[in-house]
């Protein structure tokens, strides 16, 4: 990467920081499980996606069910539900609230109008708490009169407090037969965790020795992250030191200790590297790429997954196997990998465009959704768009919606399409028999699109023809509207042409690093080989896997000494002092001792003749001097000498070398780097990614977010010429230029034709 002058970098930083604003601090508000080795206290809201909102039971017959995951590894010895609930004071004693487990009523709770707030403790039968996903539910039969009543009357409600209501579970860890076929029970999404700490144990220097070893670490981190889906996974690298003491032949592992907080661990290394740490019998099995699952010597209910091979390449191969989706492993404790053949550089896991120019909703992450009732939550679709990817001659992009609705809709019903909160178009739902509509056209005005992420909402406002009333039940079961995922929108794929920097795009899709589905051409570079730094990088790679939802099997894991030429994208992880010099020169914000931040603090007037002339062409009747007055931003520029302190930063920019997008994760030191990475991958922080830089503290509060005014475009431009935009932006000047060109052409034609006439002695 070339050196840039300080002035240029300052200007770049200035441009980056224009529009800098501080995001309101948001506390890390998600519900968490409280537990120790054998006791778990799980708030009901945790089963509801971590939300604190109470569980509402409305109407005469209300039901609500949540999935209760029961992992295979935990034998439940006792389970109690401690419920705090409130009922409406309008309810008559005939009303009741029942608790169900797997549809079976466990308890029927009284409802008293004069005592609306209640608590109850319900013992859960153990036979209903078998491993798997169980349904814990509530049923409310609510009445306000013994005679005819409106079943939808608003006073018919009960609420279950999702925070104070908890499940208390006493468990015992179960040792499972170590089988690769049951790897999913070991690394189990059903475990009651707020985050998964992956303990990756490697021999000292093991990852530093060879890139294939680092690749292996990256692959295994990804595979674990994939198992845990949305659950944040942080990777902790433990370097093992060989102990010279005599080895107990009954032990499998020597000097390999799982930390107390970890469930399980992964041991990664070549056979030779792992020789000091493994039993001879296990070592003897390692003849090629090797995967083996063994109970820990400390605790048979915890496991160590051994990934090894005779060479670093075999180790990487073995780790990659686990990262592949849908691989079936046999009911064995270990396997050897003879050969793994992988295609490389494939662009997408599925076609981005189903027809030329169209992207299906499915490819944008939308799944078919049915919205029920009169007050259903709208369906949402996010997509990226910016001016330069769209045809300037078209004032609309088209959306073709496939949807269906039920019978008995009142003719006032409609499916409203909103773009970024603004109403765009309504689709009437007027056929009494219901309908399936294929490719209903909706026009999205391009003027209403925001650069970057845009959100479409499909909001049904529906009523049935049956309006209910006294003794007339309000029938709303028919109010169903489905939006199908094969609907499509007319956009070029964002992965083909991106406007960077855009951390929002990175956070939602992994782009620009996931443009090729296997990550070919992408490098993750660490500033040093400290375990914390390596762990931070692996944590970020794991999150990338979860975001991308596909294995990045070709991603490279580089040290700071490795060359970066030829890479299409680079992610750099390192403490501020350990960042390579080339990165430090180009990094646009939050770099101690070089450039921290430039903020706009106001405006000041100055005279710019050139700008005035440009404006005058658009407004020839306006006074020239008035047009020449420009507002320059007044700025404050800050350079901090000390480091990031307890903050971590994620900064994205486009390197001048090869137009490569670079994303840098940094902190003051490796310890804070690892803490920052762990915090970054949590939902609250990761969900705030946007703009070109993010700064956050260890408790997860986003301190600042910067938006760059100047953007670069990466990828293959759609077939829209930049000249189109230039002319569109300066129409009068362009018209004048065309007029001049045509005038010159006409003059040349006149000269040529006159010459011909004279040459042929044509009278004139």
Q: Which positions touch other proteins (CB under 8 A)? A: 391-396, 443, 720-721, 723-724, 727-729, 731-732, 734-736, 738-739, 741-757, 759-760, 762-764
- Paired residues of 294 in beta bridges: 304
What's the min distance (Å) between Cβ of 762 and other proteins? Answer: 5
DSSP E strand boundaries for 88-154: 96-101, 104-110, 117-123, 132-141
Query: What whole-number distance in Å separates Cα of residue 427 and Cα of residue 416?
Result: 6
What's the min distance (Å) between Cβ of 738 and other proteins? Answer: 6
Q: What are the Cα distances from residue 365, in Å, to 174, 428, 508, 548, 705?
A: 37, 26, 10, 11, 26
What's the min distance (Å) between Cβ of 455 and other proteins? Answer: 23
Looking at beta carbons only, is 332 or 394 nearer to other proteins?
A: 394
Residue 201's closest CA among 237, 176, 248, 171? 237
Looking at beta carbons only, is 412 or 754 nearer to other proteins?
A: 754
Residue 197's closest CA among 256, 253, 257, 265? 265
Looking at beta carbons only, is 388 or 608 nearer to other proteins?
A: 388
Residue 30's closest CA among 724, 683, 528, 593? 683
Q: What are the Cα distances from residue 573, in Å, to 329, 535, 740?
A: 34, 10, 54
What's the min distance (Å) between Cβ of 755 and other proteins? Answer: 6
Residue 536's closest CA among 346, 665, 729? 665
Query: What whole-number distance in Å separates Cα of residue 643 and Cα of residue 249?
Result: 49
What's the min distance (Å) between Cβ of 405 and other proteins? Answer: 22
Looking at beta carbons only, is 119 or 752 nearer to other proteins?
A: 752
What's the min distance (Å) between Cβ of 644 and other proteins? Answer: 44
If DSSP codes are grouped into helix, strand and coil, which group holds residue 492? coil
What's the min distance (Å) between Cβ of 424 and other proteins? Answer: 14
What does DSSP assign to residue 388?
Answer: G
What's the min distance (Å) between Cβ of 396 and other proteins? Answer: 5
Residue 67 contacts residue 135 (beta carbons within 8 Å): yes
Looking at beta carbons only, is 187 or 358 nearer to other proteins?
A: 358
Query: Which residues, 6+ apart, have CB-to-CB distance to 284 below 8 Å?
Result: none
- Token pair for 207: 């990852």
Looking at beta carbons only, is 601 or 723 nearer to other proteins?
A: 723
Looking at beta carbons only, is 325 or 395 nearer to other proteins?
A: 395
Query: What whole-number distance in Å separates Cα of residue 450 and Cα of residue 455?
Result: 9
- Token pair for 477: 């079961």
What's the min distance (Å) between Cβ of 488 and other proteins? Answer: 15
Query: What whole-number distance in Å separates Cα of residue 674 and Cα of residue 329?
Result: 33
Looking at beta carbons only, is 230 or 751 nearer to other proteins?
A: 751
What's the min distance (Å) between Cβ of 358 and other proteins? Answer: 12
Dihedral (CA of 552, 321, 258, 176) sign: positive
What's the min distance (Å) between Cβ of 388 and other proteins? Answer: 12
What does DSSP assign to residue 472?
Answer: B
What's the min distance (Å) between Cβ of 19 and other proteins? Answer: 25
Looking at beta carbons only, is 470 or 723 nearer to other proteins?
A: 723
Looking at beta carbons only, is 6 or 622 nearer to other proteins?
A: 622
Looking at beta carbons only, is 625 or 757 nearer to other proteins?
A: 757
Looking at beta carbons only, is 398 or 435 nearer to other proteins?
A: 398
**At CA 417, angle to CA 412 and CA 419, rounded to 5?**
145
Looking at beta carbons only, is 327 or 749 nearer to other proteins?
A: 749
Query: What whole-number distance in Å separates Cα of residue 673 and Cα of residue 696?
Result: 11
Looking at beta carbons only, is 325 or 743 nearer to other proteins?
A: 743
What does DSSP assign to residue 190?
Answer: T
What's the min distance (Å) between Cβ of 319 and other proteins? Answer: 49
What's the min distance (Å) between Cβ of 385 and other proteins? Answer: 16
594 class by beta-carbon count within 10 Å (0-12 exposed, 13-18 middle, 19+ buried): middle
What's the min distance (Å) between Cβ of 727 and other proteins? Answer: 6
Looking at beta carbons only, is 104 or 394 nearer to other proteins?
A: 394
Q: Please count the CA atoms within 13 angstroms of the CA of 704 that sit on its side-chain side.
A: 21
Query: What whole-number distance in Å separates Cα of residue 217 and Cα of residue 209?
Result: 13
If DSSP codes are grouped into helix, strand and coil, which group holds residue 617? helix
Full DSSP string of 639-692: --SS--TTEEEEEEEEETTTTEEEEEEEESSHHHHHHHHHHHTSHHHHTT--SS
Looking at beta carbons only, is 178 or 492 nearer to other proteins?
A: 492
Query: What whole-number distance in Å separates Cα of residue 233 and Cα of residue 263?
Result: 13
If DSSP codes are grouped into helix, strand and coil, which group holds residue 318? helix
Full DSSP string of 509-554: H-TTTTSSTT-TTEEEEESS--HHHHHHHHHHHHHHHHHHTS--TT
Query: What whole-number distance in Å separates Cα of residue 322 and Cα of residue 302?
Result: 19
Residue 94's closest CA among 120, 117, 106, 112? 112
What's the min distance (Å) between Cβ of 378 and other proteins? Answer: 24
What's the N-to-C CA distance of the chain in angstroms?
67
Query: What whole-number distance in Å separates Cα of residue 378 and Cα of residue 416?
Result: 9
What's the min distance (Å) between Cβ of 719 and other proteins? Answer: 9
Looking at beta carbons only, is 275 or 717 nearer to other proteins?
A: 717
What's the min distance (Å) between Cβ of 745 and other proteins? Answer: 5
Looking at beta carbons only, is 146 or 723 nearer to other proteins?
A: 723
């Amino acid at each position: 990467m070339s050196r840039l002058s300080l002035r240029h970098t300052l200007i770049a930083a200035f441009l980056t920081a224009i529009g800098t604003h501080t995001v309101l601090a948001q506390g890390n508000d998600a519900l968490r499980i409280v537990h120790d080795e054998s006791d778990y206290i799980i708030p009901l809201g945790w089963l509801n996606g971590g939300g604190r909102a109470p569980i509402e039971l409305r109407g005469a017959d209300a039901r609500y069910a949540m999935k209760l995951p029961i992992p295979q590894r935990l034998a439940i010895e006792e389970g109690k539900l401690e419920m705090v609930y409130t009922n409406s004071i309008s309810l008559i004693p005939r009303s009741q609230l029942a608790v169900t487990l797997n549809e079976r009523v466990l308890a029927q709770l009284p409802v008293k109008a004069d005592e609306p707030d209640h608590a109850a403790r319900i013992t859960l039968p153990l036979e209903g708490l078998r491993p798997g996903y169980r349904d814990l539910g509530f049923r409310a039969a609510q009445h306000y009169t013994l005679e005819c009543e409106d079943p939808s009357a608003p006073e018919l409600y009960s609420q279950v407090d999702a925070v104070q209501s908890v499940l208390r579970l006493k468990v015992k860890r179960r040792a499972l037969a170590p089988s690769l076929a049951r790897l999913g029970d070991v690394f189990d999404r059903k475990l009651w965790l707020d985050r998964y700490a992956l303990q990756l144990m490697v021999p000292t220097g093991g990852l530093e020795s060879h890139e294939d070893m680092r690749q292996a670490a990256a692959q295994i981190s990804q595979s674990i992250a994939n198992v845990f889906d949305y659950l944040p996974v942080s990777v902790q690298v433990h370097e093992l030191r060989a102990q010279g003491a005599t080895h107990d032949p009954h032990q499998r592992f020597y000097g390999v200790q799982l930390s107390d907080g970890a469930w399980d661990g992964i041991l990664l290394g070549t056979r030779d590297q792992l020789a000091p740490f493994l039993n001879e019998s296990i070592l003897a099995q390692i003849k090629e790429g090797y995967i083996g699952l063994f109970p820990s010597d400390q605790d048979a209910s915890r496991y160590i997954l051994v990934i090894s091979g005779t060479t670093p390449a075999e180790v990487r191969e073995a780790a990659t196997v686990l990262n592949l989706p849908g691989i079936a492993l046999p009911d064995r404790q270990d396997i050897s990998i003879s050969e793994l053949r992988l295609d490389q550089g494939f662009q997408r896991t599925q076609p981005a465009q189903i027809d030329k120019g169209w992207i299906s909703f499915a490819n944008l992450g939308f799944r078919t959704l049915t919205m029920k009732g009169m007050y259903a939550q709208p369906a949402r679709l996010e997509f990226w768009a910016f001016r330069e990817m769209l045809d300037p001659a078209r004032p609309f992009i088209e959306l073709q919606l496939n949807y269906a609705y039920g019978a008995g809709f009142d003719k006032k019903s409609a499916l409203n399409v909103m773009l970024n909160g603004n109403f765009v178009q309504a689709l009437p739902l007027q056929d009494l028999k219901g309908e399936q509509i294929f490719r209903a056209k909706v026009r999205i005005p391009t003027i209403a699109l925001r650069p970057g992420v845009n959100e479409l909402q499909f909001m049904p406002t529906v009523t049935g023809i049956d309006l209910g009333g006294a003794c007339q039940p309000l029938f709303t079961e028919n109010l169903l509207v489905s939006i199908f995922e094969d609907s499509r929108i007319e956009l070029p794929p964002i992965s083909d042409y991106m406007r960077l920097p855009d951390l929002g795009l990175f956070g939602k899709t992994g782009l620009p690093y996931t443009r090729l589905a296997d990550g070919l051409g992408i490098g993750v570079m660490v500033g040093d080989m400290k375990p914390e730094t390596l762990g931070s990088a692996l944590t970020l790679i794991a999150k990338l896997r979860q975001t991308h939802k596909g294995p990045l099997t070709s991603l490279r894991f580089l040290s700071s000494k490795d060359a970066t030429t030829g890479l299409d994208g680079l992610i750099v992880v390192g403490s501020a002092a350990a960042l390579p010099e080339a990165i430090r020169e180009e990094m646009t914000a939050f770099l101690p001792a070089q450039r921290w931040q430039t903020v706009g603090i106001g405006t000041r007037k100055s005279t710019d003749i050139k700008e005035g002339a440009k404006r005058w062409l658009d407004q020839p009747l306006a006074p020239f001097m008035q047009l020449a007055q420009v507002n320059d931003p007044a700025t404050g520029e800050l350079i901090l000498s000390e480091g990031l302190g307890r903050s971590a930063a994620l900064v994205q920019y486009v390197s001048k070398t090869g137009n490569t997008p670079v994303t840098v994760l940094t902190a003051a030191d490796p310890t804070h780097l690892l803490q920052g990475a762990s915090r970054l991958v949590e939902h609250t922080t990761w969900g705030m990614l946007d703009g070109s830089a993010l700064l956050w503290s260890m408790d997860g509060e986003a301190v600042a977010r910067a938006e760059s005014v100047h953007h670069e475009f990466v990828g293959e431009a759609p077939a829209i010429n930049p000249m189109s935009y230039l002319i569109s932006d300066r129409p009068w000047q362009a018209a004048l230029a065309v007029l001049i060109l045509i005038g010159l052409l006409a003059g040349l034609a006149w000269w040529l034709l006159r010459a011909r006439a004279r040459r042929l002695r044509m009278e004139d």
